A = this chain, B = another copy of it.
Amino acid sequence: MPTLRIALAQVNSTVGDIAGNAASVRRWSRSAADAGAQLVAFPEMMLTGYPIEDLVFRQSLVTASRNALYQLAVDLAADGLGDLAVVVGYVDHEGAPGRKRRDASALLLGGEVVATYFKHHLPNYGVFDENRYFEPGNALTVVRFGGVDVALTVCEDLWQAGGPFTAARKAGVGMVLNINASPYELNKDDVRLPLVKRRAAEAGATVAYVNMVGAQDELVFDGDSMIVTAGGELLTRAGQFTEELLVQDLSLPAADSVPNQAPVEQPADDGMSITSVTAAVDARPGRSDKADGGIADRIADEEEIWSALVLGLRDYVNKNGFRSVILGLSGGIDSAVVATIALDALGPDRVFGVSMPSGYSSAHSRDDAAELAKRAGLDYRVEPIQPMVDAFLANLSLSGLAVENLQARVRGVILMALSNQEGHLVLTTGNKSELAVGYSTLYGDSVGGFNPLKDVPKTMVYRLARWRGSPIPSNSITKPPSAELRPDQKDSDSLPEYDVLDPILAGYVDHDMGRDDLIAAGNDEALVDRVLRMVDLAEYKRRQSAPGTKISGKAFGRDRRLPITNRFREGV
């Protein structure tokens, strides 16, 4: 059996930065060559970043992607890497410009584009709109390289039965390369390994899975690259949320030794044809040392989510060119957790905290905010809001909720003024439970360019705070939550306890459960009716909310598209 040393480049690309992404491919290819690899694979849409959404309709971008691919092949050869096979994702088109756009993978070798493959299964659910963007490919590309037949596939090809993996079995390949931009969700890594094993069995071949790491707007990509044999053995697995090069020696069956086989079971090949290419340049010589990438430890839920939130914020800030972030520190748990995420993402010098007390702010709130800032080493200032609130109250006749919201909006104006004056990105701190029921002031505490907690339910905010510990003051964790917009106000005046609320929200928002199913699951009937109505009526606020990192199966944003105008009332 031939041995191939494979490198999986679990790296971070940036949407639209084609030159930067191509430079990254050259850099990591050099590292792969230095490690003795004969083939290195990069993630889906490495050259353009992912997802590029409607940018794909800009023909200039598709052309730039395609041109960059051909230039990259030449540049790699000029770098002395002409005998390293480099597999890289990009965007292509076929035929007339603007027609048949493709989510593509290419194998570069000897200064040339040796083979291309077009993604067959296009996801069009959740955050994905790929039927909007791409035509599906209908030919499996098999490249004979280093004496092994290697099939190229892309992301969703792995998630659907049939199609490319079934065609790979019929073609008798030794390995299937699957390049990904697969967004993080809590525990998605637990699903991936069994899935890769199933497809390896279907293809009767080793599967090498490489995933992007990094963040793009609301999505985080967690890596978790791996290689699994046809027999289901996990050979190597990368960590989550880290850039790394996973290098592994693989003993693979020689090309002609694998019989073409009929599909094992029902999965059809979707009528895919097979395109075979033999690389003119052979693999660079193997090395006699051993390469084994090892198997990274799995991490606990809290660490997994925390890492996602840190990476999500860091990449949003850095890729958009912000020097620093600013946020209001109320002494409450949400702002304390967001400040700590920012601390871990950016370091204390890039995080600015502002306490904005009113007459209703308790002494412990001010103390807790100051304590957090001191422990974390953040820039910290106090801007009391009463003078500005009084100016509005002196000129307008306001009462009740209008006065509560006014306070939150004065705070929003202060944060935005400091942002304009000093150049910070404003972070907003509403958690998923609050966003769901609309427990926030539009243009008040909701102002900001990014919200790390947007997809984190309040009960998980508590779990994260306990797990992370200092600098978060324990008092911020243990005291009853309050917006402090009127005397002695508590969240529990308006909302059920969060451990009662969150399961209802998870059912309704994340799983589209109806009223009857929620009641059958043991939730209080009157409470279900009240919560569902709050969620429905808050859609207009969510439509104007800041982006934030998705960590769940269904986040507010691209993932959940509900009308504002909506008279459907469950059970009425």
Copy number of this protein in the oligomer? Answer: 2
Instruction: State whether the Cβ of A178 lies closer than 8 Å to any Cβ in chain B.
Output: no
Instruction: State whether the Cβ of A420 lies closer than 8 Å to any Cβ in chain B.
Output: yes
Instruction: State whether the Cβ of A59 lies closer than 8 Å to any Cβ in chain B.
Output: yes
Instruction: State whether the Cβ of A387 lies closer than 8 Å to any Cβ in chain B.
Output: yes
Interface centre among A390, A391, A449 (most CB of B within 10 A): A391
A543 closest partner in B (C-beta): B547
CA distance in complex: A399, B512 (Å)? 48
Establish whether residues B387 and A391, one from each chain, have CB atoms under 8 Å apart when the complex forms: yes
Establish whether residues A396 and B417, one from each chain, have CB atoms under 8 Å apart when the complex forms: yes
Residues of chain A from 379 to 416 with CB closer than 8 A to chain B in the complex: 383-384, 387-388, 390-392, 394-399, 401-402, 405-406, 409-410, 412-414, 416
CA distance in complex: A517, B57 (Å)? 14
Establish whether residues B565 and A217, one from each chain, have CB atoms under 8 Å apart when the complex forms: yes
Which residues of B sit under 8 angstroms from A384, Cβ to Cβ? 395
Which residues of B sit under 8 angstroms from A57, Cβ to Cβ? 512
Establish whether residues B417 and A320, one from each chain, have CB atoms under 8 Å apart when the complex forms: no
Establish whether residues B405 and A416, one from each chain, have CB atoms under 8 Å apart when the complex forms: yes
Q: A420-B402, A568-B17 are in contact. Are A388 and B391 (CB under 8 A)?
A: yes
CA distance in complex: A405, B14 (Å)? 31
Residues of chain A from 14 to 43 with CB closer than 8 A to chain B in the complex: 14-18, 20
| Of A142-150, A455-463, A556-564, the one with at least 4 CB within 8 A of chain B | A556-564
Instruction: State whether the Cβ of A443 lies closer than 8 Å to any Cβ in chain B.
Output: yes
Residues of chain A from 132 to 168 with CB closer than 8 A to chain B in the complex: 132
Which residues of B sit under 8 angstroms from A540, Cβ to Cβ? 449
Which residues of B sit under 8 angstroms from A443, Cβ to Cβ? 412-413, 416, 443, 447
Establish whether residues A547 and B570, one from each chain, have CB atoms under 8 Å apart when the complex forms: no
CA distance in complex: A405, B216 (Å)? 28
Which residues of B sit under 8 angstroms from A517, Cβ to Cβ? 60
Establish whether residues A392 and B414, one from each chain, have CB atoms under 8 Å apart when the complex forms: yes
A64 closest partner in B (C-beta): B568
Interface centre among A58, A216, A545 (most CB of B within 10 A): A58
Instruction: State whether the Cβ of A115 lies closer than 8 Å to any Cβ in chain B.
Output: no
Instruction: State whether the Cβ of A85 lies closer than 8 Å to any Cβ in chain B.
Output: no
Instruction: State whether the Cβ of A129 lies closer than 8 Å to any Cβ in chain B.
Output: yes
CA distance in complex: A132, B132 (Å)? 10
Which residues of B sit under 8 angstroms from A543, Cβ to Cβ? 546-547
Q: Mark A115-127, 1 if CB is under 8 A from B, else 0.
A: 0000000001100
Residues of chain A from 325 to 341 with CB closer than 8 A to chain B in the complex: none
Instruction: State whether the Cβ of A544 lies closer than 8 Å to any Cβ in chain B.
Output: yes
Instruction: State whether the Cβ of A131 lies closer than 8 Å to any Cβ in chain B.
Output: yes
Instruction: State whether the Cβ of A53 lies closer than 8 Å to any Cβ in chain B.
Output: yes
The 8 Å CB contact of A388, one of B395, B447, B547, B564, is: B395
Q: A410-B413, A420-B402 are in contact. Are A564 and B544 (CB under 8 A)?
A: no
Which residues of B sit under 8 angstroms from A52, Cβ to Cβ? 563, 566, 568
Q: A413-B409, A413-B410, A420-B401 are in contact. Are A59 and B514 (CB under 8 A)?
A: yes
Shortest Cβ gap from A265 to chain B (Å): 21
The 8 Å CB contact of A516, one of B18, B60, B124, B568, is: B60
The 5 closest A-B pairs by CB, nearest first: A16-B568, A60-B514, A391-B391, A402-B420, A17-B567
* Interface set of A (CB-CB < 8 Å, partner B): 14-18, 20, 51-55, 57-61, 64, 124-125, 129, 131-132, 216-217, 315-316, 319-320, 383-384, 387-388, 390-392, 394-399, 401-402, 405-406, 409-410, 412-414, 416-418, 420-421, 442-443, 447, 449, 512, 514-517, 540, 543-547, 558, 560-570
